[in-house]
Chain A
Amino acid sequence: MPDLDAPFAALADPTRRAILARLAEGEATVHDLARPFAISQPAISRHLRVLEDAGLIETRIAGTSRPRRLKPDTMAQLWDWLGQYRALWETQFQRLDAVLDSLPDDPPSPERNP
């Protein structure tokens, strides 16, 4: 099993989770990231450093620009580990079970003739 302590520690901070949510929309520079958050660029840079050390994001070098982006491999490893997150979906399907239990046994046929 990969060492996921660093990614989970990095994810424990709500600002860093918000940064990841922003990067999920596409790569962004420190400048791009500082704008929507009411914190300084140095503070953003520190959060990015934690995320990068945890393997959650990586830096691309594009001329003088250094956009950050998600690192898919670590996301996949986290997913594999994170049964607790999938439990949220399971909770929804348990509500679906309850809806099914409440329906009559012979529902009007939803079959459609082509």
Chain B
Amino acid sequence: MSLDQLQTVLDGDTDIVLRRDFAHPPAKVWRALTEPALIRQWMAVDGHPMTRCEFDPRPGGSFHFEWQGPDGTSFFFSGPVLEISAPHHITHVEHFNGDPAMSARITTDLTPRGTGTRMTMVMRYDSAEARAAAIATGMTDGMDQVYAKLDEMAID
């Protein structure tokens, strides 16, 4: 099955699994995932310019992605790189706003698929409660856009 659209699955009590196919080979996808100049081009959120985009893609390296909202408040994801093997595999830890209680261990694998790439990202939380908290945070942050979308689709 081709996954032109993102597939997201809750796996067990603690994992969120994302799968997505890209039309380009792993070496190219790897660049877009690890080079800050390219990361900026696709991680920008409408109304939230990226104010910091740093990624040192080496074992022992780290990353820091930060955005600023229209009201001036900022939020960021940061953490250490645990394992990295270009252009196929990264394991890193992601903290939200520097809070160690809000963290996930994220494993990203790029496998060749035809002339393209399948990306599989496993986001593992410490517990079912931590995963629910992450979903709640994403949901509450994203709900305004979700409700706008539902309005567009005229769903009550």
| Chain B contacts for A75, CB-based, 8 A | 131-132, 135-136, 139
Within 8 A of B (CB), among A70-114: 70-72, 75-76, 78-80, 82, 84-90, 92-93, 95-101, 103, 107, 109-112
Interfacial residues, chain B to chain A (CB-CB below 8 A): 5-6, 8, 10, 13, 18, 20, 22-24, 27-32, 34, 38, 41-45, 86-87, 99, 101-102, 128-129, 131-147, 149-150
Q: List 26 A-B contacts (CB under 8 A).
A: A12-B147, A14-B144, A21-B136, A23-B136, A24-B133, A24-B136, A25-B101, A69-B129, A72-B128, A72-B129, A75-B136, A78-B139, A79-B10, A79-B135, A89-B8, A95-B41, A96-B29, A96-B42, A98-B42, A100-B22, A100-B28, A103-B31, A103-B38, A107-B31, A110-B31, A110-B87
| Chain A contacts for B128, CB-based, 8 A | 72, 76
Inter-subunit contact B135/A92 (CB<8 Å): no
B interface, over-half SS: helix
If A97-B23, A99-B42, A107-B31 touch, does A87 touch B149 (CB 8 Å cutoff)? yes
Inter-subunit contact B22/A96 (CB<8 Å): yes
Inter-subunit contact B132/A71 (CB<8 Å): yes
Complex alpha-carbon distance, A21 and B86, angstroms? 36
Q: How large is the interface on A (under 10, 10 to 19, 20 to 34, 35 or more residues)?
A: 35 or more
User: B2 CB to closest chain A CB, in angstroms?
Assistant: 14
User: A102 CB to closest chain B CB, in angstroms?
Assistant: 8
Considering residues A78, A92, A99, which has the most beta carbons from chain B within 10 angstroms of its beta carbon? Answer: A99
A interface, over-half SS: helix
Complex alpha-carbon distance, A89 and B86, angstroms? 24
Residue A28, interface by CB 8 Å: no
| Chain B contacts for A11, CB-based, 8 A | 139-140, 143
User: B90 CB to closest chain A CB, in angstroms?
Assistant: 12
Tell which of B28, B45, B136, B149 touches A107, judged by Cβ atoms closer than 8 Å.
B28
